[in-house]
């Protein structure tokens, strides 16, 4: 028979992680709002700046549903931060790229995100943030 304390701890952990994630996203969203960008838009720009990806690869990497990702990418394309291109090898494959304007925007967003993370580290301690990030990486 499973230990009741361990079952409760797992349920608490999921709840705590969910609440912490939502609080962090809300705070970051407030910081990014001054640039007129959502957290998902920032995540998409970051992922695409790191490497060229198809929409399917991007959805999988960011764990964003395809419909939401399409709307997010459409908004970024409309703002000229991203552009799409068709693969020369497979005409069905559409890749998404960060434009020069998108790279400029991303630098500003990264600065805001870094300030947000520094404020968190000031509040809870840098070692706590580093340790927590390491623990979370091991969960994902």
**pLDDT 10s per residue in the chain (140 long)?**
455 555 555 568 888 889 999 999 999 999 999 999 999 999 999 999 998 888 888 999 999 999 999 999 999 999 999 998 887 777 777 888 999 999 999 999 999 999 999 999 999 999 999 999 999 899 88
Say what the pTM is: 0.83
Residue 14, CA atoms < 13 Å, CB-side half-sphere: 5
pLDDT at site 105: 97
- The domain total for the chain is 1
Contact 52, 97 (CB under 8 A): yes
CATH code at 83?
1.10.10.10
State how far the Cα of 52 lies from the Cα of 96, in Å rounded to an integer: 7
Contact 15, 99 (CB under 8 A): no
Tell me the residue range of the domain where 111 lies: 4-139
The full length of the chain comes to 140
């Amino acid at each position: 028979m499973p230990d009741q304390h361990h079952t409760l701890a797992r349920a608490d952990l999921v709840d705590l992680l969910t609440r912490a994630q939502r609080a962090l996203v809300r705070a970051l969203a407030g910081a990014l709002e001054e640039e007129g960008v959502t957290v998902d838009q920032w995540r998409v720009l970051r992922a695409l700046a790191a490497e060229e990806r198809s929409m399917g690869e991007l959805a999988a990497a960011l764990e964003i549903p395809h419909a939401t990702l399409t709307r997010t990418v459409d908004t970024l394309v409309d703002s000229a931060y991203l552009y799409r291109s068709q693969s020369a090898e497979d005409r069905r494959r559409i890749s998404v790229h960060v434009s020069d304007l998108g790279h400029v925007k991303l630098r500003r967003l990264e600065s805001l995100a870094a300030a947000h993370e520094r404020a968190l580290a000031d509040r809870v301690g840098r070692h706590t943030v580093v340790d927590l990030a390491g623990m979370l990486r091991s969960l994902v």
